[in-house]
Amino acid sequence: MSDTLIPGPASGAAHRRPARAVVGLALSLLIAVAGCTGSPEADSGPADRAADSTPVAVTGPLCDVLPSGTEPGNPNSLADQSPGVALTWIPVLTTFEAAVRATGMAEELSAAGAITVLAPTDDAFRAKFSTENVDQLLLKETETLRGLLREHVLTGAYPVADLVAAGTVTTLAGTPVTVTSAETGARVADRADTVCADYQATGARIHVINKVLGDLPDTAHEEEHHH
């Protein structure tokens, strides 16, 4: 998959995000807005932060292709960012981060205290929803989308090992989900595996997962039928 350079949320520094084969209108507009406006919390740019802190160790097969070292968006640089800002710097979370902004969930995540975010990749959203469906959720069905996001947030900041040890956790939506050990770290709801676990943000752990949770219907197949 080719890469495209998109400005960071506030510093203007470019960082890599995988280009989507098909990007819906709503999503492309939200990405553009993120590149032009940004949050005051990230004015100095995450790459300049946390230089002297204990290194943040992320684990999983996808970590190898995500920012590391001194690159903008590296795990160390996100440790003192709010969850909403940290999400903007993880390149494979374009759709999830756009959904957080579209629903106003960033403020809720910051105010919630200790939380765990199970963030599906762009590929996970593409496998679950058609582009038209994603646009509809972002523009018209934000309450439904907010409910979906709450299925991906847990009370308590769980390192991936603690998630596995817990065995069962409950989402902000009130849904109990099982967690078991998996080769990549953890399997959630017998469906999603962590593919880059243990990002840290202020009061939060962020685990990148490879499937969308919740019970919204699959619509990706509808897009295939239209081509």
Q: Where are the domains of the chain?
A: 3-43+54-225
Which pLDDT score is estimated for 222? 79
Say whether pLDDT at 99 is over 80.
yes
> Dihedral sign, CA of 6, 27, 97, 224?
negative
* pLDDT computed for residue 57 by the predictor: 96
- Band of the pLDDT at 17, cuts 50, 70, 90? very low
Per-residue tokens: 23: 């990007």
Are 58 and 197 in contact by the 8 Å Cβ rule? The answer is yes
Per-residue pLDDT at 28 exceeds 70: no
Share of residues in the chain with pLDDT > 90 (%)? 70
Please give the structure tokens belonging to residue 133. 């469906």
Angle between helix 131-139 and 142-150 (nearest 10): 100
More confident residue, 109 or 28: 109
3-state DSSP helix/strand/coil % of the chain, to nearest 5: 40, 20, 35
Q: Cβ distance 50 to 80 under 8 Å?
A: yes
Q: Determine the topology of domain 3-43+54-225 in CATH.
A: FAS1 domain (2.30.180)
In this prediction, residue 37 carries a pLDDT of 43
pLDDT at 10: 38
Closest CA to 98 of 59, 60, 131: 131
How sure is the predictor about 11, in pLDDT bands with cuts at 50, 70 and 90? very low
Top mean pLDDT of 27-41, 99-113, 162-176 is at: 162-176
For 120, the token pair is 């599906």
pLDDT at 55: 92
Cβ atoms of 185 and 206 within 8 Å: the answer is no
pLDDT digit string, tens, across residues 103-162: 999 998 988 889 999 999 999 999 999 999 999 999 999 999 999 999 999 999 999 999
16: closest CA among 59, 76, 65?
65
Per residue in 85-98, pLDDT (tens digit) is: 999 999 999 999 99
